[in-house]
Chain A
Amino acid sequence: GQQVQQSPASLVLQEGENAELQCNFSSTATQLQWFYQSPGGSLVSLLSNPSGTKHTGRLTSTTVTKERRSSLHISSSQTTDSGTYLCAILSSNTNKVVFGTGTRLQVLP
């Protein structure tokens, strides 16, 4: 079945530094979504980006569909960005959503 790998597993930055998160998936996806999960567990959708490049605020996602990878770039990180970033894939041949293992980001003041 579909597998989603995220890297790095964890990342520690100083405030103001940029972060680059990676998501690799094993089979074709028709939808790809990046989420932020707070330490309390709640999920917030950041970007839906099945292909190409999308921006919102300090976030930029680039998905190369044929290479089965996506990245999330966070510019000028802030302490409030700390949490876990999840990549989720919707397979083209099943009605199944598969989440990655996540990248835990810690931004220090």
Chain B
Amino acid sequence: AQTIHQWPVAEIKAVGSPLSLGCTIKGKSSPNLYWYWQATGGTLQQLFYSITVGQVESVVQLNLSASRPKDDQFILSTEKLLLSHSGFYLCAWSRGLFNQDTQYFGPGTRLLVL
């Protein structure tokens, strides 16, 4: 069975500090990977997706970047956090192309920027 793990579970960071959020999928080779963000009380927004190692496509510009250093790993980061980065970050994976297949979500990381 496939499992998806996100770290950290929660984080409190200062404005201007760097951030790195991680996501790992086990039990599935070559998954399609996605990052989503949800402001408190807001709508989920797709941030990035990756079809293969080393290849990441940006969907929404939020002064964040993403990388896929390994087949099973997806990293979301920024060098300088903004207050507006606060919210809930979700990683997801799908077997096939996302226009044909179900997405499965991780437990999420809650971020508070002060």
A interface residue numbers (CB < 8 A to B): 30-31, 33, 35, 41-45, 48, 86, 88, 90, 92, 95-102
23 A-B pairs, CB-CB below 8 angstroms? Answer: A31-B98, A33-B102, A33-B103, A41-B38, A41-B88, A41-B108, A42-B107, A42-B108, A43-B108, A45-B103, A45-B104, A88-B44, A95-B59, A95-B99, A96-B46, A96-B59, A97-B34, A97-B103, A98-B46, A99-B45, A99-B46, A100-B43, A101-B43
Q: Could you say which residues of chain B place their CB within 8 Å of the CB of A43?
A: 90, 92, 105, 108
Any A CB within 8 A of the CB of B29: no
Q: Could you say which residues of chain A place their CB within 8 Å of the CB of B34?
A: 97
Closest to B107 in A: A42
Q: Could you say which residues of chain A place their CB within 8 Å of the CB of B74?
A: none
Closest to A100 in B: B43
In the complex, what distance in Å separates the CA atom of A5 from the CA atom of B57? Answer: 26
Q: What is the distance, in angstroms, from B73's C-beta to the closest C-beta of chain A? A: 20
From 83 to 99 in chain B, residues with beta carbon under 8 angstroms from any chain A beta carbon are 88, 90, 92, 98-99
Contact A86/B44 with A42-B105, A48-B102, A97-B34 known, Cβ cut-off 8 Å: yes
B interface residue numbers (CB < 8 A to A): 34, 36, 38, 43-46, 49, 57, 59, 88, 90, 92, 98-105, 107-108, 110
From A42, A90, A99, B44 is in contact (CB under 8 Å) with A99
Q: Could you say which residues of chain A place their CB within 8 Å of the CB of B99?
A: 30-31, 90, 92, 95
Q: What is the distance, in angstroms, from A86's C-beta to the closest C-beta of chain B? A: 7
Q: Could you say which residues of chain B place their CB within 8 Å of the CB of A41?
A: 38, 88, 90, 108, 110
In the complex, what distance in Å separates the CA atom of A45 from the CA atom of B103? Answer: 7
Contact A95/B100 with A43-B105, A45-B105 known, Cβ cut-off 8 Å: no
In the complex, what distance in Å separates the CA atom of A33 from the CA atom of B104? Answer: 11
From A44, A90, A99, B43 is in contact (CB under 8 Å) with A99
In the complex, what distance in Å separates the CA atom of A13 from the CA atom of B99? Answer: 34
In the complex, what distance in Å separates the CA atom of A34 from the CA atom of B105? Answer: 13
